[in-house]
Amino acid sequence: MDEPVREVAFDDYFDALPVVEGILVRMSDNVAATLAHHVGELIQFLEHDEVPPKRTGFLRRRLSAEDVLRRMFPDAYRDRATADDFRTRHASLLRDSTAPRRVRAQCLGGRSFLLDHQDMDDWMIALGLVRLMLHPRHGVDRSMTNVWFWHMQDSLVLASNPHMVDNMADLVHSAFGGHLHSGRRPPKR
């Protein structure tokens, strides 16, 4: 893709608010453009196996499309052959780019819009997969872009299910005493 690499900045914002008609999403122009860019990369990967260029760690080898595919859609069975067969049989569903395409169109169409139930599912798919295209599944990644993806997804979830906010304190206390990210555990004393 010829677009420049986009990164979010500290004065950017992304809000998701529950309203009668659904979820009202508001974001800065730069967040909308950055998200559209990365979701565009996801579409290229799902449709054409194009792996986006790595932006850091120039000494690391560039991942192949197969590497990214296995990270995005991990083995569904313990047996490798059965897992590969699963990935082949369900390739058209796993690699369906309809949802990311709709999300990208919304981002390009403005910085404020309303999401209905179907839109919400599209966003969960796009945000779920775009992170796995850019970042490993294991190992905490504190890059600005990744943190923004977490923020976007959790903001949408809590806006679509306001009752979950009421249970957040218990959840955070039960899980890890502060961090919302599933992979982070409090340091041992």
Partner 1 sequence: MIPDAPWRVSVHDDDVNTIVAIWYLLQTLCGLDSPQAQQTALDIHQRGQAEVGAFGDRATAEALVVSLQRHGLHATAGNA
Residues that bind partner 1 (CB under 8 A): 72-78, 86, 90, 93-94, 96, 121, 124-125, 127-129, 131-132, 135-141, 150, 153-154, 157-158, 160-161, 163-164, 167-168, 171, 174-176, 180-184
Give the nearest distance from C-beta 132 to partner 1 in angstroms.
6
Q: State the nearest-atom distance from the C-beta of 133 to partner 1, in Å.
A: 10
Spatial separation of the C-alpha atoms in residues 51 and 101, rounded to whole Å: 17
Q: Between 61 and 78, whose beta carbon lies closer to partner 1?
A: 78
Distances (CA, A) of 130 to 41, 62, 108, 155: 8, 17, 17, 17
Q: How far apart are CA 141 and CA 104, in angstroms?
A: 24
CA angle 45, 46, 50 (to 5 degrees): 20
Nearest approach in angstroms of CB 161 to partner 1 is 6
Q: Provide the minimum distance between the beta carbon of 97 and partner 1 in the complex, in angstroms, as a whole number.
A: 11
How far out from the chain centre does Cα 12 lie?
A: 18
Q: Shortest Cβ distance from residue 176 to partner 1 (Å)?
A: 8
Q: What is the DSSP letter of 166?
A: H
Comparing CB distances to partner 1, the nearer of 3 and 85 is 85
Nearer to partner 1, 111 or 151 (CB): 151
What angle separates helix 29-48 from helix 98-109, to the nearest 10 degrees? 160
**Closest to partner 1 by CB, 114 or 164:** 164
For the record, the structure tokens of 5 come out as 């690499």
Measured CA to CA, the distance from residue 133 to residue 161 in angstroms comes to 27
Return the number of the residue (86 or 113) whose C-beta is nearest partner 1.
86
111 or 124, CB closer to partner 1? 124
- Considering the complex, what minimum distance in angstroms separates the CB of residue 29 from partner 1? 26
How far, in Å, CA of 121 to CA of 138, rounded?
24
